[in-house]
């Protein structure tokens, strides 16, 4: 269950993971853009900024009611690792017209850049070694100050939405199916502007330091069909 709320009536609003899965492929590259060279399963380089393009039109947009990821950007600033999710259209109009929140993606982080430590099963896209997982989704903030967040949480009837936001979880894994919340999920630490949703992960929460390399795998929620192709290529990013 990803949706959370603090509604006084005690009702439980269950967010159902909307896993329309799908095919995607990397489009033709812009030569001027930072490139990530792959070497087998493991990306060879670890630049301080990584940009990954993603195909346009590969998402199940439900007739334009969901955004389509077209680029992922990873960069750090000495305190946080930042992910920018760039979509094909402005997010605000989409959020306003929907009665449900939207799952935007999941990200897996291998914070010691070691595939032999961390999870070792295929719940993480067939790759091993990740210590953290985050789900990124949109949320509603209601007029009484409570919020509703998740990958498919339905807006409660009769409750006015006063703001929309992007939120995330951060779970640390000691075993594949045992994730411990590092911080309160869905508090709206993320943000969005125009076509870009941004989430950040603090070095302290991740147990990392400047100069460390983090291996990252991103899973696109809302893509069309095949599970394995809903993953972007793994990348490594060096922290500033």
Contact positions toward Ca ion, by CB under 5 A?
110, 112, 114, 117-118, 129
- Whose Cβ is closer to Ca ion: residue 148's or residue 237's? 237
Residue 31: CB minimum distance to Ca ion, A = 33
Alpha-carbon gap, residue 235 to 192, rounded angstroms:
23
Encoded tokens for 221: 């929620």
- Whose Cβ is closer to Ca ion: residue 68's or residue 131's? 131
Distance between start and end Cα atoms, the chain:
34
- Whose Cβ is closer to Ca ion: residue 118's or residue 150's? 118
- Whose Cβ is closer to Ca ion: residue 105's or residue 118's? 118
Neighbouring CB atoms inside 10 A of 205's CB total 16
Residue 226: CB minimum distance to Ca ion, A = 26
Residue 117: CB minimum distance to Ca ion, A = 4
Residue 128: CB minimum distance to Ca ion, A = 8
Q: Quick check: 88 and 58 in contact, CB under 8 A?
A: no
Encoded tokens for 34: 């930072």
Q: Quick check: 51 and 73 in contact, CB under 8 A?
A: yes
Question: DSSP code of 223?
Answer: B
Alpha-carbon gap, residue 10 to 94, rounded angstroms:
29
- Whose Cβ is closer to Ca ion: residue 79's or residue 174's? 174
Q: How many helices (H) and strands (E) does the chain have?
A: 2, 15
Residue 78: CB minimum distance to Ca ion, A = 22
Residues in the chain: 240
């Amino acid at each position: 269950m990803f949706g959370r709320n603090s509604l006084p009536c005690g009702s439980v609003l269950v967010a159902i993971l909307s896993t329309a899965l799908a095919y995607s492929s990397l489009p033709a590259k812009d030569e001027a853009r930072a490139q990530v060279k792959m070497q087998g399963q493991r990306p060879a380089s670890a630049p301080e900024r990584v940009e990954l393009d993603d195909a346009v039109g590969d998402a199940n947009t439900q007739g334009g009611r969901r955004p389509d990821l077209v680029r992922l950007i990873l960069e750090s600033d000495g305190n946080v690792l930042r992910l920018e999710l760039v979509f094909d259209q402005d997010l605000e109009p989409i959020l306003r017209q929907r009665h449900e929140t939207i799952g935007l993606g999941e990200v897996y982080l291998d914070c010691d850049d070691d595939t032999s430590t961390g999870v070792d099963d295929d719940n993480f896209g067939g790759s091993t070694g990740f210590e953290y997982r985050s789900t990124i989704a949109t949320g509603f903030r209601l007029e009484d100050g409570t919020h509703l967040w998740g990958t498919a949480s339905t807006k409660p009837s009769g409750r006015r939405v006063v703001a929309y936001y992007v939120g995330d979880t951060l779970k640390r894994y000691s075993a594949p199916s045992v994730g411990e919340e590092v911080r309160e999920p869905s508090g709206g630490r993320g943000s969005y502007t125009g076509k870009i949703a941004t989430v950040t992960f603090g070095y302290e929460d991740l147990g990392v330091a400047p100069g460390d390399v983090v291996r990252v795998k991103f899973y696109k929620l809302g893509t069309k069909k095949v599970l394995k192709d809903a993953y972007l290529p793994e990348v490594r990013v060096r922290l500033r």
